[in-house]
Amino acid sequence: MEPRLDSLWEKTAPDRPRWSPLAEAITADVVVIGGGFTGVSAAYHLAARGVSVVLLEARTIGFGGSGRNVGLVNAGLWTPPDQVEEKIGQKVGARLNATLAEGPSVVFGLIEKHQIHCEATRQGTLHCAHSAAGLRDLEARYAQQMARRAPVRLLDAAETARCTGSDAYHGALWDGRAGTIQPLAYVQGLAREAGQLGAQIFETSSALEVCQDGESWRIRTAQGEVRTAKLIQATNAYGRDGVDPNAIVPAHYFQLATVPLPEKIRQSILAGGEGCWDTALIMSSFRLDRAGRMIFGALGNLDGSGAAVHRAWAARKLVKLFPQLKGIPLESEWTGRIAMTSTYLPRIERRGGNGISIFGYSGRGIGPGTLLGRAAANWALQTGDLPLEITGAQPENLAALRGLYYEAGAALTHFTNGRF
């Protein structure tokens, strides 16, 4: 069953533009399939340069990971920069690291430029050490970021407790480039700007058939058709119908949001406005939204059979982290699908003669999606290099089984954690 988009973000996003389905036969210089950060950014940057671009979204803008995520706008990838260079080579890796380090500046720059109402807060993020081993990991990350002159600070346990309001952590790595947003409002706001610049955006317009016809692509939807020379597929973990499936391992991540916290409690948690996640293998995250709701998330699927285990663990964990939240009611819960790859790095794969698919952000997509969408626009216009090599299809072995393994690992950890 396809998960519904009934996130907190949907409740609190400002009025969004509604886009009609494609209901005729049209042509465009570039077609983008998928209306998340990647596809919307590609459409925005193409339209900004006067190129005729059509964006097809199967459901509504932000329906996929972009409308379900935590809203942590971090620099770079989840994989530390030295490891990125080890995995794909020093030269290409350094270029990718340098490009993606700009993620927060580009995202917050677009928000500022177009006055997108998305609760943007740039007070840094805190990567919190859940254990002594987690702190050693953060020390290594700190050294790598310092070598690249990033504005990071390593906090000890006492300072972490002062910032977060929880004494559960051994320390934290603060990154001053980063911040938080209301992610659905950001992607819908950027789509509005793309539309104003001339991008033709169609919702409820799934690409049912995508085929190459000589030099051009023909993409059929339920009521229309579009022909184009260049195709950008931006469906990440949510591909359906006629698009070639991306080789990813799906991992589910859920979030729960409380009602807005009473002022006194609110002041005791994340008073500086940072967003947080931890170093645990079965990771969790927490942040406040502008109204002061606590949003707590972790690996796991609330649309699956482990839902009760995940919910019960989250209730225990939240009060363990913040005893002052005991008895505060929850008002929303939702789940999203993360596109993992075996390298934990995004991929750009060739589609036919003149097409690419960008995917596999492995949990870090706000900055990277916005930047790779912009790079895809440059690729289509032949005005810039992509920060990653375009490859042929690289299958992920036993992807569905490995996805189940993530869920089983999360359920087992959540079942045992805090009980014994």
Q: How far is the CB of 379 from ligand FAD (least distance, A)?
A: 15
Q: Would you say 142 or 238 has its CB closer to ligand FAD?
A: 238
- The residues with which 56 forms a beta bridge, in sequence order, are 33, 202
The secondary structure element, H or E, covering residue 409 is helix 399-416
Query: Residue 19: CB partners within 8 Å, gap ≥ 6?
Result: 57, 61, 191, 195, 201, 202, 203
Q: How far is the CB of 125 from ligand FAD (least distance, A)?
A: 9
Q: How far is the CB of 420 from ligand FAD (least distance, A)?
A: 28
DSSP label at 353? T
| Interface ranges with ligand FAD (CB under 6 A) | 33-39, 56-59, 63-66, 68-72, 74, 206-207, 234-243, 253, 336-338, 361, 363-367, 369
Q: Would you say 39 or 80 has its CB closer to ligand FAD?
A: 39
Q: How far is the CB of 264 from ligand FAD (least distance, A)?
A: 28
Q: How far is the CB of 184 from ligand FAD (least distance, A)?
A: 10
Mind giving me the DSSP string for 184-197? HHHHHHHHHHHHHT
Q: For residue 171, how far is the Cα from the chain centroid? A: 25
DSSP label at 66? G
Q: Would you say 70 or 152 has its CB closer to ligand FAD?
A: 70
Contact 186, 194 (CB under 8 A): no
Q: Would you say 71 or 403 has its CB closer to ligand FAD?
A: 71
Q: Would you say 236 or 284 has its CB closer to ligand FAD?
A: 236
Q: How far is the CB of 53 from ligand FAD (least distance, A)?
A: 14
**In 329-410, which ranges are E strands?**
330-340, 347-351, 355-359, 390-391
Q: How far is the CB of 199 from ligand FAD (least distance, A)?
A: 15
Q: How far is the CB of 56 from ligand FAD (least distance, A)?
A: 5
Contact 359, 236 (CB under 8 A): yes
Q: Would you say 136 or 409 has its CB closer to ligand FAD?
A: 409
The CA angle 113-115-119, to the nearest 5 degrees, is 120
Dist. CA 234–CA 201, nearest whole Å: 14
Q: What is the dihedral of CA 193, 199, 201, 207, to 10 degrees?
A: -140
Q: Would you say 105 or 157 has its CB closer to ligand FAD?
A: 105
Q: Would you say 265 or 309 has its CB closer to ligand FAD?
A: 309
Which tokens go with 159? Answer: 């300072």
